[in-house]
Amino acid sequence: MSQLSQSHLLGIRNLTTRDIELIFETADNFKSIINQPIKKVPSLRDVTVANVFFENSTRTRISFELAEKRLSADVVNFSASSSSVKKGETLLDTVNNILAMKVDMVVMRHASPGAPHFLARHIKANVINAGDGTHEHPTQALLDAYSIREKLGSVAGKKVALIGDILHSRVALSNIFALQKLGAEVMVCGPPTLLPRYVRELGVRIELSVRKALEWCDVANVLRIQLERQQLKYFPSLREYTLYYGINLQMLNSLNKRITLMHPGPINRGVELSSDAADSPHSIILDQVENGVAIRMAVLYLLANRQV
Amino acid sequence: MQKKLILDANLLDITISRLCQQLIENHGTFDHSVILGLQPRGVYLAELIQQRLLELCRKKIPLGYLDITFYRDDFRRREINKASELRIPFSLENKRVILIDDVLFTGRTVRAALDAMLAFGRPAKVELLVLIDRRYNRDLPIAPDYTGKAVNTMASQKVLVELQAQGFKQNKIWLISNP
């Protein structure tokens, strides 16, 4: 039978390799469905999903909402900026109030690492982590790995470099877990101040030179400089960062092989990635976005079938 | 467990020929006809029918694979099998659709198939062809237009279809009863 081992998606860390493969196989089916003339299936017609976003988001939120609607779920949206959170309500109270209105699944983004884990322990609904602080962002890692599998045939044995702000990136941590579970080799690359101290213990390679990282890898996943999370000065200026760690088309063309370029978005054009590189044939950034809907449909569908 | 043979290889062959003759009677030159096999097991039968019609009237009728997993009415109520490939490389708009499955039991799969099909256009006509019709077991008002063999069964029994295309040695169809 085909079921996930979990009834929540809190992080890639909790998933088995079999779970990830099941999500990919299910996403294959949904990808063909979202390319059909009528893109909607009735699977989740008796399920209500709350999208609870305590942090800003465009892509993830639209992607989740589309995925829910294509599965025929009822959707309620909640964002912290326009809610009673401003009046001092606690996280648990907020969510319990939403659940009292008979909601079956909660998709949550929160600035505090572990917030979805806390929620999953206290409420009777499937919880999907849509990003918790600098901790994990599981659906992003799944769609990244899925896009690599689609482009290169498989993830196993591939060399993937994560380049940029590793310290503040939940995408980086989830990617490391997902890629390793699927048998890829992972490298992190960035200025020493933006590499977490204990990242070596996760069994990844560390590289300070972006040039060497590009020469080594099959896939470069470029991460955004998260200025909003940086309370200290980690590098002298954005210009200097671009000079040493920015990737442009000229660099990609000067390699003696063709690599695949990814970015989880939003791109700071001209900072970590130049426009000519982002829009080049190396880039699969827009494929990532399309795959995001299929992956999220698969996750929602598989979790809806799990009792809490 | 008791195993009773319903159709052997020889009889199955005759049955498929008869079904194809009936299709020819109704569809003539098959100008606007398409075949849809239901995943996972109806597709083997659909391929057999397509092949036989090719031999009989020298015409390859377009064949699609329809998966109904996401259209089922029992999601979250019971264990559901993994989805299979859905591949319909043509529009169903104004086509005469021949829906093919191996066994017709409660009719719920066909109900879901009718629902799934509409995502590919509005067919002019839909017909149902099944190899085995398990009579008196229907939950819904659904009846086949072409039947290989109708059998009287109890809900506790099972029909087992073994086709060479599925990797079995010989084409055989069994009725299985658990005492």
What is the structure's pLDDT at A83?
Answer: 67
d(CA A28, CA A13): 23
Give mean pLDDT, residues A198-225: 94
The domain covering A12-136+289-304 belongs, at the CATH homologous superfamily level, to Aspartate/ornithine carbamoyltransferase (3.40.50.1370)
d(CA A179, CA A173): 10
pLDDT, tens digit, 9 for 90 and up, residues B65-101: 999 999 988 888 877 778 888 888 888 999 999 999 9
Of B71, B76, B82, the CB nearest to A41: B71
β-pair partners for B172: B162
Verify whether the Cβ–Cβ distance A304 to B67 is below 8 Å.
no
3-class state of residue A271 by DSSP: coil
Of A33, A37, A46, the CB nearest to B70: A33
pLDDT, tens digit, 9 for 90 and up, residues A186-211: 999 999 999 998 899 999 999 999 99
| Average pLDDT taken over every residue of chain B | 91
Of A25, A41, A305, the CB nearest to B76: A305
What is the structure's pLDDT at A84?
Answer: 65
Q: How many CA atoms lie within 13 A of B78 on its CB side?
A: 5
* List of domains in chain B: 9-24+31-71+84-152 (3.40.50.2020)
β-pair partners for B65: B37, B87
CATH 3.40.50.1370 maps onto chain A at: 12-136+289-304, 138-286
Close Cβ partners of B93 (under 8 Å, ≥ 6 residues apart): B121, B122, B123
What is the distance in angstroms between the Cα of B70 and the nearest Cα belonging to chain A?
A: 5
d(CA A195, CA A162): 11
Verify whether the Cβ–Cβ distance B119 to A46 is below 8 Å.
no
Close Cβ partners of A56 (under 8 Å, ≥ 6 residues apart): none
Give mean pLDDT, residues B52-73: 92
What is the structure's pLDDT at A96?
Answer: 85
What share of chain B in percent tops pLDDT 70? 99
Q: Is the pLDDT of residue B152 over 60?
A: yes
d(CA B20, CA B100): 12
What is the structure's pLDDT at B150?
Answer: 94
Q: Is the pLDDT of residue B118 over 90?
A: no
CATH 1.20.810.10 for domain A138-286: no
d(CA B145, CA A176): 55
Give mean pLDDT, residues A42-57: 91
Q: Is B76 on the interface with A (CB under 8 A)?
A: yes
**A interface with B, Cβ–Cβ below 8 Å:** 1-3, 22, 25-26, 29, 32-33, 36-44, 46-47, 71, 301, 304-305
SS3 content of chain A, % helix, strand, coil (to 5): 45, 15, 40
